[in-house]
Amino acid sequence: MGSSTAEHRASELRQLLNRAAHAYYVLDAPEMEDPVYDRLYRELLDLEMAQPELIAPDSPTQRVGGAPAQGFSSVRHRIGLLSLDNAFNSLELEAWYGRLLKVLDREPSTALPMVGELKIDGNALALSYENGVLVGAATRGDGEQGEEITANVRTIGSVPLRLQLAHPPDWLEVRGEAFIPDDTFAAINAERGTRGEALFANPRNACAGTLRQLDPKVVAARRLDFFAYTLHFPDGWQAAPGDPERPSSQWESLQWLQQAGFKVNPNAALLPDLAAVEAFFEQWDTGRRALSYATDGVVVKLNDLRLQDAAGFTQKAPRWAIALKYPAEEAPSKLLRLTCQVGRTGVVTPVAEFEPVPLAGTSVSRATLHNADRLLELDLHAGDTIVVRKAGEIIPEVVRVLPELRPSAAVRLELPHTCPECGSQLVREEGEAATRCVNSSCPAILRGALRHWVSKGALDVDGLGSKLIEQLVDRALVHSIADLYRLDGALLSSLERMGSKSAENLVAALGTSKSQPWHRQLYGLGIHHVGEVNAKALAKAFPSASDLATAAIETPEAITAVYGIGQEIAQSLQQWFATPANQELLTVLERLGFSLAASEEELRSAAASSAAANLSGQTFVLTGTLPSMSRSQAQALIEAAGGKVSGSVSKKTSYVVAGAEAGSKLSKAESLGVPVLDEEGLKELIAP
């Protein structure tokens, strides 16, 4: 067969087979007999084997192919893949809706159409298409970057390798949920049982484990499924004639996804108001029992995509969507003992240990009780029968005690007065819920500080896990973070489960960690209230530890001037840098080779940003819908230029940026004499 004839036939076979796969996996309406499909598949495979140049990314032969992977690389999401905030009852749902109306500047009585979708108990995926062909797939990860698992996702029959569009966009991002149906899950566990392997606790865990298999053939054998629910287009893209039009709502997005070849959950509903949302939620509380896959709630999304843009995001989740969860399964158990754990900040947390009970697919035998107030509220006694559940189907919690089953003469349980780790007197400051050990030499505090320092978000030291940290502390080989960098290979190789090669690798990893960016070093210090996001903001504003220390102690107002940093963080920084032991730690770290400062490259980048920061010290309020950018994009522009964005108008507001359908914020600005800009005016103001 000539090359041009073979190329034409291969293209024809790919189209036939992909259409047949879509009918089988997505529409559940097979249009081709299995023997016919197999014969055509074999013909395509033979063509590709004879002429490898005919192999294309959208070929069905590529759903399972290639050698097992050596591991998974990290990939940054083009668009953040954030989690959703949760609500567990109608009051929390109404509170979320009230916040949404407020940020959209709408009256409390406004009814906004919503879309209700079942919350599938699986694993979120980000799919990347270029010119209509699947080119990448990644796990959620931390929301900014995940693991690249394209070869595994290709094995999922309901994920199209090529979009069913005549003129697809240059790129397209599709988000959805991979899951394992209940009957498939049962078959997987039955097979594992016959081989003497550990059983998966639930379908979600089985799905997560499957997606991270290094061999795509194993993934293919487990027959995962996929529902798509969100998509992102290039700015300004519009559909060509004959293709479905670009959607303007979430409801239209689901229809668009179906037309493009994706499987969409058929149980979604367009809901006119909050009452309809609550009815939808109640309907599926019982209806979900008949489904062939696990679901633990419903997802509620604002339907209008322009309003979604206007609502924007918090640091962790979209404001325009929420997961409304069904009540967790509850089970009784007998309390065996009350223990306490000490965290890296010295907070002492009571922990209930009880007879194991099965909950949401796992065996549970312990739950934290938060603090002394919660312990008192539960009125917990030795030997009590307690009711346990999983909050959000993840975190075990003690819901209540059954006092009618309490043993006679049972003793009430309280927090100890001394630290269970070091014996120091515990302290509870007035107005605080937490009880703390304030002994900085406490082994538990040191272990927690070390675990935090070497964690992925901080110094990211590979090979230094909890077991090894426990050995180092218990043998008094390490008394501070700095002592880690005095360890040598000979000493480390003498420890349990540490060979000479592992010790050598760990010493090298510790040496490499000294070059981590300043914001990671700052986060790793474990200063109370300073998380990863705050550490980045502070490191950008104060390019060295000495700069930050000076500001924290002498000019705390400079700390609170940083966007997103409040009084609580400023006070925490002041206390930390004023502590002599912490001052000594910084001195020793510098001696050991840490710069505790931004690199020249970071400084150049910051200088470039500062040069464009012509809105420094000015506060903006956004209202209405802008013509060519979303509210979150406008906010990003303002913040990149040094300005701040506030949610409410006051006399201190520098400008109000108003678009179409601007509400009461515009009226308030006019009454206070605050200058009002349109989108063009904002761009002119930002332009250097």
Q: pLDDT (tens digit, 9 = 90+) per residue, 205-235?
A: 888 888 888 788 888 888 899 999 999 999 8
Query: Does pLDDT of 274 surpass 60?
Result: yes
pLDDT band at residue 630 using 50, 70 and 90 as cut-offs: confident
Percent of the chain with pLDDT over 90: 48
**pLDDT, mean of residues 480-506:** 92
649-to-66, 601, 683, 686 alpha-carbon distances in Å: 59, 38, 20, 20
Q: At what angle do helices 443-453 and 466-474 cross, to 10 degrees?
A: 140
Q: Which residue has the higher pLDDT, 472 or 390?
A: 472
**pLDDT, mean of residues 85-99:** 91
The pLDDT, as a whole number, for residue 1 is 59
pLDDT band at residue 393 using 50, 70 and 90 as cut-offs: low
- For the beta carbon of residue 444, count every other beta carbon within 10 angstroms: 21
Query: Does pLDDT of 147 surpass 70?
Result: yes
The pLDDT, as a whole number, for residue 642 is 77
Region 86-325: CATH code: 3.30.470.30
The pLDDT, as a whole number, for residue 651 is 84
Do 547 and 557 meet the contact criterion of CB atoms below 8 Å apart? no
Which has the closest alpha carbon to 296: 119, 178, 122, 177?
A: 119
pLDDT band at residue 287 using 50, 70 and 90 as cut-offs: very high
Give 471's contacts (C-beta < 8 A, 6+ positions apart).
477, 495, 496
Give 59's contacts (C-beta < 8 A, 6+ positions apart).
10, 14, 44, 48, 161
> What is the torsional sign of CA 132, 135, 139, 140?
negative
Give 531's contacts (C-beta < 8 A, 6+ positions apart).
523
Lowest mean pLDDT among 38-42, 174-178, 258-262: 38-42
Tell the burial category of 308 from Cβ atoms under 10 Å away from its Cβ (0-12, 13-18, 19+). Answer: buried
Kindly report, as residue ranges, where domains of CATH 2.40.50.140 are found in the chain: 333-412
The pLDDT, as a whole number, for residue 212 is 84
With the CA atoms of 541, 547, 552 and 555 taken in that order, what torsion angle do they form, in degrees rounded to the nearest 10? Answer: -90
The pLDDT, as a whole number, for residue 360 is 67
Kindly report, as residue ranges, where domains of CATH 3.30.470.30 are found in the chain: 86-325
Query: Does pLDDT of 24 surpass 70?
Result: no
Q: What is the DSSP secondary structure assignment for residue 396, as one 8-state letter?
A: E
Q: Which residue has the higher pLDDT, 440 or 177?
A: 177
Enumerate the active-site residues.
Answer: 119
The pLDDT, as a whole number, for residue 89 is 86
**pLDDT, mean of residues 528-546:** 88
Which has the closest alpha carbon to 610: 633, 641, 634?
A: 641
Residue type (1 letter), 47: L
CATH of 619-686, one of 3.90.190.20, 3.40.50.10320, 3.40.50.10190, 1.10.357.10: 3.40.50.10190
pLDDT band at residue 6 using 50, 70 and 90 as cut-offs: confident
**pLDDT, mean of residues 489-510:** 91
Region 3-62: CATH code: 1.10.287.610
pLDDT band at residue 624 using 50, 70 and 90 as cut-offs: confident
Do 317 and 81 meet the contact criterion of CB atoms below 8 Å apart? no
The pLDDT, as a whole number, for residue 567 is 84
Give 92's contacts (C-beta < 8 A, 6+ positions apart).
none
**pLDDT, mean of residues 597-613:** 68
Ranges 48-52, 162-166, 251-255, 643-647, most confident: 251-255
pLDDT band at residue 236 using 50, 70 and 90 as cut-offs: confident
**pLDDT, mean of residues 285-308:** 92
Lowest mean pLDDT among 119-128, 272-281, 322-331, 420-429: 322-331
Query: Does pLDDT of 28 surpass 90?
Result: no
Kindly report, as residue ranges, where domains of CATH 1.10.150.20 are found in the chain: 443-513, 518-610
Tell me the per-residue pLDDT of 474-487, one tens digit each, with 9 for 90 and over.
999 999 999 999 99
- The CATH-assigned architecture of domain 333-412 is Beta Barrel (2.40)
Region 443-513: CATH code: 1.10.150.20
Tell me the per-residue pLDDT of 582-604, one tens digit each, with 9 for 90 and over.
999 999 999 999 999 988 777 76
**Distance in angstroms (rounded) separating the CA atoms of residues 332 and 546:** 54
What are the b/e assignments for 535-565, b being 16+ CB within 10 Å?
A: bbbbbbbbbebebbbebbeeebebbeebeeb
Kindly report, as residue ranges, where domains of CATH 1.10.287.610 are found in the chain: 3-62
List, as own/partner pairs, every contact residues 643-649 make where C-beta atoms lie below 8 angstroms and the sequence separation is at least 24, other chains included: 643/615, 643/616, 643/617, 643/618, 643/619, 644/563, 644/618, 644/619, 644/620, 645/619, 645/620, 645/621, 646/619, 646/620, 646/621, 647/102, 647/103, 647/621, 648/621, 649/621, 649/674
The pLDDT, as a whole number, for residue 85 is 87
The pLDDT, as a whole number, for residue 422 is 92
pLDDT band at residue 563 using 50, 70 and 90 as cut-offs: low
Region 518-610: CATH code: 1.10.150.20
List, as own/partner pairs, every contact residues 53-61 make where C-beta atoms lie below 8 angstroms and the sequence separation is at least 24, other chains included: 54/6, 54/7, 54/10, 56/10, 56/14, 56/133, 57/133, 57/134, 57/135, 57/161, 58/14, 58/18, 58/133, 58/134, 58/161, 58/162, 59/10, 59/14, 59/161, 60/14, 60/17, 60/18, 60/21, 60/161
Do 475 and 443 meet the contact criterion of CB atoms below 8 Å apart? no
Lowest mean pLDDT among 42-46, 212-216, 219-223, 466-470: 42-46
Do 61 and 294 meet the contact criterion of CB atoms below 8 Å apart? no
Lowest mean pLDDT among 9-13, 549-553, 592-596: 9-13
For residue 231, is it left (φ>0), alpha (ψ between -120 and 50) or beta? beta
The pLDDT, as a whole number, for residue 315 is 67
Tell me the per-residue pLDDT of 356-365, one tens digit each, with 9 for 90 and over.
988 766 788 9
The pLDDT, as a whole number, for residue 242 is 86
The pLDDT, as a whole number, for residue 370 is 86
The pLDDT, as a whole number, for residue 70 is 58
pLDDT band at residue 180 using 50, 70 and 90 as cut-offs: very high
